[in-house]
A and B are shown apart, each in its own frame.
Chain A
Amino acid sequence: MTITDEPQAGNETPGYKWVGTRPIRPDGLDKVTGKARFGADLVLPNMIEGAFLRSPHAHARIVSIDTSAAETMPGVQAVITGADFPSPDDMAPGDAFQAMKIMARDKVLFEGHPVAAVAATSRAEAMAAAKAIVVEYEVLPHVGTVGEAMADDAPLLHDTLITSGIDPAPDTPSNIAARNLLERGDLDAGFAAADVIVERTFTNKPVHQGYIEPHAAVADASQNGRANLWCSSQGHFDMRSMTAKVLSCPPSMINVTPAEIGGGFGGKTTIYLEPVAILLSRKANRPVRMVMDRDEVFKATGPTSGAEVRVKMGVTNDGTITAADVWMALEAGAFPGSPMGPATMTALACYDIANFRVEGFDVVCNKPKVAAYRAPGAPISAWGVESVVDELASEIGMDPIELRLKNPAVEGVQAPYGPAFPRIGFVETLEAIRDSDHYRSPVAPGHGRGVACGFWFNIGGNSVATVNVHEDGNVSVITGSPDIGGSRSSMALFVAEELGIDVDRINPQIVDTDTIGHTDVTGGSRVTLSAGKVVVEASRKVKADLCRRAAKAWDCDIDEVEWVQGQAQHISGTESPLSLAAIAKNAGRTGGPISFTHAENVRGAGAGFTTQVVDVEVDEELGHTTIVRYTTAQDAGKAIHPSYVEGQMQGGVVQGIGWALNEEYIHRADGTLDNPSFLDYRIPVASDLPMIETIVVEVPNPAHPYGVRGVGEAGIVPPMAAIGNAIERSTGCRMADLPMSPVRMLEAINERNAAAD
C-alpha cells in the first residue's frame, strides 16, 4: 500500500489521518491486470446471444413485421417484437414512453429505434436472423431540430402530447412537452438601468457521453417469473424498477447484480437492453447476453440535447449586472425529458441578479431520446450566459473575473431556482483562478485567454451501508452504489477514519439488489456525499458497539470508554486497551456478530462551483484551435481522495473541450446519423491536450460530517464558454454555434475579414 499525502492548494486536512490521503484503490489491481468483470465479460452456462433489428428511418409508421423467416434460421432460439411486451396503453405516460423507447410499437421515432430482437446460439446468427425480419414502413416526414419541431405546421411525433407548464393548458397536441419559467424583479427596469446590453443567440448540437464500454446485459429468467440480471449501469436499483415497469412485473421479482461499469457520465442511468434480454431469456428458457456495438450506442442511446439559447443581459459601467433574459429550447429526442429543467435552473445560478426571466422548452424530435450527461443541461445554458458575461466585461473594460466578483452568488443570496444558498465556495474559486500562476502569467503573443464559471446543485438521496467486522478484525463495507470513478476508495477512507484502522484492512463491496437496501443511482454527484454519509453513520454504530463491548468486559460504564486509534481505552488508563481485532475475536461471546447498517434519504447536498481559465491558439489558416494551457479551480467541500477529485475535475474539463471543439451529431437530410463512430465523432485524444492543472478548493459543506459537496458534474459546465471567450480574445470572432470546429472557425474568420474590408 502506497500512501502519499502531497500538499494541495486549499487542502489542509486538519486532524484527519486517512481522509485526504491517496491510497491505491481497492479494485485497482483487478483493473490493471484484466481481471475486473465489466458488463460484456460475464459468461453463464448455456448462454446465448441477442441482437436487435433497428429502424433505418428517423420517422415511419410500421405497416407490418414478418418474423417467420428469421424464426427458422440456424441457431435461433427466440424472436420478439413490440407485440410481446405489455401494452404501453395500460401504463402511466412516462412509463409508456419508456416502454415505447425500448421497443417500437406502431411507429419508429428515430433511426436505431428497436423494432425486433432475436436470441440465437451465436451473435453472428442472431444478427443474421434479425436482418431476415421483414418490416414494411411508411416513411413519415421527420423533425430534426427545436426550430423544426416547434414550427406551427410541424409533423407531430406523438398525437397526444400536450405541453405542461402553461396555464391554461393548450387544447391541441404539439412537439413541445413542457415549459419552465423562472422570474424575479422587474426586467424592463433592470435593462433600463443598464449602461450596456448584450444580446445573442447560441446553439449546440447533440453530443454523446462517449463512455468507452458499450451497454451490456445478461438476463437469466426463470419459469416462475423471477429473473436475474447482470448489467453495467450507474444504478442497478433504478435498472430494476425501470425494467419491471416495462415488463409490468413487481420489481422484487428481478435481482440485478452490478457489473463493473466502463464509464457512464449519466448515460447509464437508464435502460435499453435489460427488459429485452429478460423477455428473450424467458422465451428461449436460456440465459441471454446482449451487447451493443458502437454504432448502436451512437444511434440509439442518450446523447444530450441539441439546443438553442437566447441570452440578453445588461450591466452598468461599474459592473453591476442589472438584468438577464434567457430563453432556451432543448431537444428531448423522441420522447419527453430533456434536461430543460436544470438548464433553466442553473443558467444564472452563479450570480446575484435582481431582475431576470428564464424560460425553457422541452421539445421532442426524431432523434434518440436524450439521457443524462454530466451536469445535465447546465453546460447548454452556461455556453450562452458565460459567453455574454464575458462580452459584458469586455464592453465595460473590466477584467472578467472582477466582473464576476462584483455579482457573485454567496451565502444568503436566493438562488434563481428558489432557496437561499447556504455556505458556498464560488468566490473562493474565482479568487483561486485570479491568484493562480496561470492567470498571473502574461498571455503569449497570438494566444487568447478565456474565463468561465459553472454551477451544479449536487444531490443527496437514498443510500444504505452495512459495515461488518470480521473475526480477524478486518472490515467489509457494503453499499449499492456502483463505483464509476474510485468511490470504493472514498468509502474505505471514511471507515478507516471512523474506526481508526489502516485503510487496507477495509474491503468495500458493491452488491446486488437482493442483498442491500434501495440505493439511488451513482449520479448527480451524490455518492461521496450520500453513500459516504451512511458509511460514516454505520461506522459510528460499529464504534459505539465496540465501546459497549469493552465496557462490558471491563464492567464499567460506557462513558468511561473511548475509541482511540483503532482500540477501546478506559479513560482511567487502568485497563489494557482492547483492539478491534481483540474485540472481534470474542464477538460471539460478547453479544454476537458485529454488523451495523444505516439507511437514509440523505439531505443537505452542498452546491458546487468552478472557475476555469484557458489559453488557446487559433491557426487562422486551418481554423484549428489548440488548447495551450488549462487550469480549473473547483470547490469539492472536502477532497476525500484528492487524486480522484482531481480526476473528476480533469475528466469534466476534457469532455467540455471535446464539446467545445470537435463533438457533434451530424445528421443527413433524411434524419439519419452521418457519424456514428469514434472515427467521425471525434472525442479528445491524448495528443490534443496539455496537462489539466487543478486547484482543489475546500469550503466545507456544513451539512455533511466531512464537509463533502461532490465534484463529478460542475467541471464540464464552463469549458465551452471559456474556450469561446479565449477564441474571441485571440481572433475577435465571437462564436455562437458549437462545436467551434475548424469549419466553423474558418467561416467566422472569413466573415471577420470580409467585414474589415
Chain B
Amino acid sequence: MKTHVHCTINGNETDFLADSGGTLLNALRDDVGLTGVKEGCGTGDCGACSILVEERVTCACLIFAPEAQGTTIVTIEGLAEADHLHPLQETFLEGAALQCGVCTPGFLMAAKALLDKNPDPTETEIRYALAGNLCRCTGYDKIIRAVQDAAERMRTNTNGAA
C-alpha cells in the first residue's frame, strides 16, 4: 500500500508516494532521490541518516515515511544556501574532518542542530551532542575541532552583523 505524503524538504514543497510501512529514509533515498542521506545501520544506532525534522535532529530510519506528512525537513542537500556553504561544511573541508565521507552528512546535520541551539558549546557538549553519530575513520578529533571552528565562525559572523 502506498501513502501520499506532502511535506517541505529543503525549502521545496514536495509530494511523494511512500510505502506505508516504509521508513522515511527509504522514501527520501528511493522516492525523492536524496541519496545524500545515508543508511549505515537502519536501527538508529549510527546516525548516518540524520536529518532535521521540524528543526530536531532525527534518524530518518526510525520514522515511517507517512509520519513526514506536513512537516518541514532539511537534509544534507539543503544545508548550503545556494552556492554558499554552511560554516560547518567549510570547516569540515578545511580541517580534514572527513576521510571516507559516508558519515559526514549525518554529522553535519547533527552539528547544525547543536549549534542552532547552543552557539558556544564546550568540547564535552559537542562530544555528547554527536555521540549518536558513528565515525570509524577519524577518531572524531578533527570532527570536534571542525565544529568548534564553525561555532566560532558563526558567532563572529553574527556579532559582525549585529
Residues in A lying within 8 Å of B, measured CB to CB = 2, 4, 22, 24-25, 27-29, 31-38, 40-41, 124, 209-214, 260-265, 291, 293-294, 484-486, 641, 643-644, 646-648, 650-655, 677-679, 683-687, 689, 691-692
Contacts and interface: CB of A to CB of B under 8 A. Distances in A.
Interface of B: 19, 22, 29, 34-43, 45-46, 48, 75-77, 79-80, 85, 89, 92-96, 98-105, 108, 124, 126-128, 130-145
8 contacts: A29-B93, A33-B85, A36-B101, A212-B135, A646-B141, A650-B138, A650-B139, A678-B40
A50 to B, nearest CB: 15
Given A24-B93, A650-B138, A692-B139, A485 B43 contact: no
A487 to B, nearest CB: 10
Given A262-B38, A263-B136, A679-B43, A211 B94 contact: no
Nearest to B37: A34
B75 to A, nearest CB: 7
B139 A654 contact: yes
B93 to A, nearest CB: 5
A31 B98 CA distance: 8
Contact of A486 (B41, B96, B127): B96
Most buried by A among B29, B39, B103, B140: B140
> Which 4 residue pairs are nearest across A and B when measured between Cβ atoms?
A34-B36, A262-B102, A654-B139, A31-B101
Contact of B75 (A34, A37, A485, A678): A34
Nearest to B78: A34
Contact of A211 (B22, B76, B136, B144): B136
A214 B136 CA distance: 13
Given A41-B35, A650-B141, A683-B134, A262 B101 contact: yes
B41, B77, B79, B145 interface centre (most CB from chain A within 10 Å): B41
Query: Which one of B80, B96, B126, B140 has the highest number of Cβ atoms from chain A below 10 Å of its Cβ?
Result: B96
A685 B96 contact: no
Given A211-B136, A263-B102, A689 B38 contact: no
A641 B96 CA distance: 10
B98 A651 contact: no
A22 B37 CA distance: 28
B102 A689 contact: no
B13 to A, nearest CB: 20
Contacts of B139: 647, 650-655, 684, 689, 692
B100 A485 contact: yes
Given A32-B108, A213-B38, A651 B138 contact: yes
Contact of A260 (B29, B79, B85, B101): B101
Contacts of B93: 24-25, 28-29, 32
A211 B100 CA distance: 9
Contact of B39 (A40, A646, A677): A40
A34 to B, nearest CB: 2
A33 B132 CA distance: 20
B94 A2 contact: yes
B41 A678 contact: yes
A372 to B, nearest CB: 15
A553 to B, nearest CB: 40
A265 B46 CA distance: 18
A212 B89 contact: no
Contacts of B128: 686-687
A212 B138 contact: no
Nearest to A123: B26
A691 B144 contact: yes
A294 B42 contact: yes
Contacts of B36: 33-35
Contacts of B80: 33
A213 B98 CA distance: 14
Nearest to A30: B101
A486 B144 CA distance: 19
A651 B137 contact: yes
Given A2-B94, A33-B80, A643-B142, A212 B37 contact: no
A22 B97 CA distance: 12
A34 B138 CA distance: 19
Contact of B140 (A28, A38, A654): A654
Given A212-B40, A484-B100, A689 B136 contact: no
Contacts of B137: 263, 485, 647, 651
A651 B99 contact: yes
Given A24-B94, A294-B42, A686-B126, A33 B79 contact: yes
Contacts of B39: 40, 214, 291
B76 to A, nearest CB: 4
Given A647-B138, A654-B140, A37 B102 contact: no
Contact of A687 (B43, B104, B127): B127
Contact of B131 (A211, A646, A687): A687
Which of B39, B92, B139, B144 has its CB near the most chain A CB atoms (within 10 A)?
B139
A264 B130 CA distance: 22
A647 B143 contact: no
A212 B144 contact: no
Contacts of A679: 43, 45
A646 B40 CA distance: 25
A32 to B, nearest CB: 4
Contacts of A31: 98, 101, 104
Max chain B Cβ within 10 angstroms of own Cβ: one of A209, A262, A484, A689: A262
A534 B144 CA distance: 35
B104 A32 contact: yes
A504 to B, nearest CB: 13
Given A28-B98, A33-B77, A643-B95, A212 B108 contact: no
A711 to B, nearest CB: 12
A214 B22 CA distance: 19
Contacts of B40: 212-214, 262, 294, 678
Contacts of A25: 93, 96
A168 B132 CA distance: 55
